[in-house]
Chain A
Amino acid sequence: DIQMTQSPSSVSASVGDRVTITCRASQGISSWLAWYQQKPGEAPKLLIYTASSLQSGVPSRFSGSGSGTDFTLTISSLQPEDFATYYCQQANTFPYTFGQGTKLEIK
């Protein structure tokens, strides 16, 4: 299976900050990467697919980039509702696998 490693595992930030989360694949996955946001007690929500495509209805402060093995999710100006856990997911090779998550906390 392809291993997905996110960094950092947790990050503290303030409203208005710019935050970047990194996801690294154990082998090349082209641009087959998605990002999800999960709040406590809720199902994950799709934010980004194919590395950089914004899902309909997701605010434009979220953006994704990367290809091959290294990817980033950037939130340009944190809003209170953005404090959550973020997961990456590779969709290049079965079985599709997820990163371990990055918890974004309020500083």
Chain B
Amino acid sequence: QVQLQESGPGLVKPSQTLSLTCTVSGGSISNGGHYWSWIRQHPGKGLEWIGYIYYSGTTYDNPSLKSRLTISVDTSKNQFSLKLSSVTAADTAVYYCASLTYYERAFDMWGQGTVVTVSS
């Protein structure tokens, strides 16, 4: 069974870059059929799709974050990563990695989530 696990710093200073990695286990990230995604949830709020990467390197970035966002993939490590630059307190959230199914267009597997706080 495929599992996803986020890792990275829980505290980031304002204006710095938030960096998270998602490790996929129990299956290959290079198997077609899934877009590897990042989603965040602000405290007590709803869900916001950040973007995705396919194993080939094709990406989609949410336009609301596009200028600050980089999503990358390392197939040799079965990982994909998120970098969000110039963070502010508004980027404080729980960050989830998830798989978006190619045909059903739904997020079928999720990591447990990691809390990232932006504060000096």
Q: How many residues belonging to B are interface residues under a CB distance threshold of 8 Å?
A: 21
B104 near A95: Cβ-Cβ < 8 Å: no
The bracket for how many chain A residues form the interface is 20 to 34
A91 near B106: Cβ-Cβ < 8 Å: yes
Residues of chain B contacted by A97 (CB below 8 angstroms): 49
A-B contact count (CB 8 A): 56
A44 near B47: Cβ-Cβ < 8 Å: yes
Most buried by B among A36, A46, A95, A99: A95
The A-contacting residues of B in range 63-101, CB under 8 angstroms, are: 63-64, 96, 98, 100-101
B104 near A53: Cβ-Cβ < 8 Å: yes
Residues of chain A contacted by B62 (CB below 8 angstroms): 95
CB distance from A30 to the nearest CB of B (A): 11
Q: Is A7 an interface residue (CB 8 A)?
A: no
Which residue of chain B lies nearest to A55 when distances are taken between CB atoms in the complex?
Answer: B108
A34 near B107: Cβ-Cβ < 8 Å: yes
Partner of B49, one of A49, A55, A96: A96
Partner of A50, one of B46, B104, B107: B104
How many angstroms between the C-alpha atoms of A87 and B48 in the bound complex? 11
Residues of chain B contacted by A42 (CB below 8 angstroms): 112
Which residue of chain A lies nearest to B97 when distances are taken between CB atoms in the complex?
Answer: A43
Q: Is A89 an interface residue (CB 8 A)?
A: yes
Which residue of chain B lies nearest to A53 when distances are taken between CB atoms in the complex?
Answer: B104
Partner of B105, one of A36, A55, A91, A101: A91
Chain A residues near B (Cβ < 8 Å): 32, 34, 36, 42-46, 49-50, 53, 55, 87, 89, 91, 94-101
Chain B residues near A (Cβ < 8 Å): 46-49, 60, 62-64, 96, 98, 100-101, 104-108, 110-113
Could you write out 8 A-B pairs with CB less than 8 Å apart? A43-B98, A44-B47, A46-B106, A50-B105, A91-B105, A95-B62, A97-B49, A98-B48
